Amino acid sequence: MNHSRTIPIVNIAGPGSQPEEEDFNFLPIPAGINLPLTPVLPEQALPGELHVARQVLTTLISKMDSPVETLSFPLTYKLNASEQQNSGLLDQLLGEGEISARVLLPKGKEQRIQETVFAGVWRVREYNADQQRVTDEIIIGRSLRASGVLIRSRRLRQNCRRNRRN
């Protein structure tokens, strides 16, 4: 009895073995969605705004120079009245992220909380009943290392030092 049969060889892998697929198409992003982008810096900043941005950022960066395990979170910086008036460049540098909240407080006060373009870095501003800004605070949460803010901040500090020399 002859048990030898021919077993057909079928190409199951490699080019031509699978049916052709259609090209992958992406849906366009709707025009109404704002994506967080890298802030665009002006070529010439006002001296007062440049001073405030440098002061605030170098203070926060110096707080972050310690090992993350030794930092007491949240790290905060409360802008004084003069810094609030000259915070335009700082606003551009920090930008606005995707998350924001409004908290209505007693006596018509309001707190506006805005994520910056850096994960874990928040702006908390409080307004009085006349909608005048009373406080402006930058708060950095525990997600500092995961977001890469520490690495970016060291680069930013190096750039600030270079700009100071010029």
Helix/strand/coil for 54: helix
State residue 118's pLDDT score.
Answer: 84
| pLDDT for residue 137 is more than 90 | yes
Mean pLDDT across the stretch 143-158? 50
State residue 150's pLDDT score.
Answer: 45
**Band of residue 149 on the pLDDT scale cut at 50, 70, 90:** very low
Mean pLDDT across the stretch 6-22? 69
108: left (phi over 0), alpha (psi -120 to 50) or beta: left
Listed ranges 10-14, 18-22, 58-62, 78-82; the one with the highest mean pLDDT: 78-82
State residue 68's pLDDT score.
Answer: 75
Domain boundaries, the chain: 47-165
Fold (topology level) of 47-165: Ribosomal Protein S8; Chain: A, domain 1 (3.30.1370)
Helix/strand/coil for 82: helix
For residue 140, with 0-12 CB atoms within 10 Å meaning exposed, 13-18 middle and 19 or more buried, which class applies?
buried
Mean pLDDT across the stretch 95-123? 91
Mean pLDDT across the stretch 112-124? 90
Per-residue tokens: 166: 């010029």
Q: Kind and range of the H or E element at 147?
A: helix 144-147
34 vs 74 pLDDT, higher one: 74
State residue 62's pLDDT score.
Answer: 87
Instruction: Spell out the long-range contacts of 122-130 with Cβ–Cβ below 8 A and sequence spacing 24 or more.
Output: 123/94
Q: Which of 27-36, 74-83, 133-142 has the lowest mean pLDDT?
A: 27-36
Note the pLDDT tens digit of each residue in 18-67: 666 666 676 776 666 665 555 666 777 889 999 999 999 999 988 888 88
Tell me the pTM. Answer: 0.63
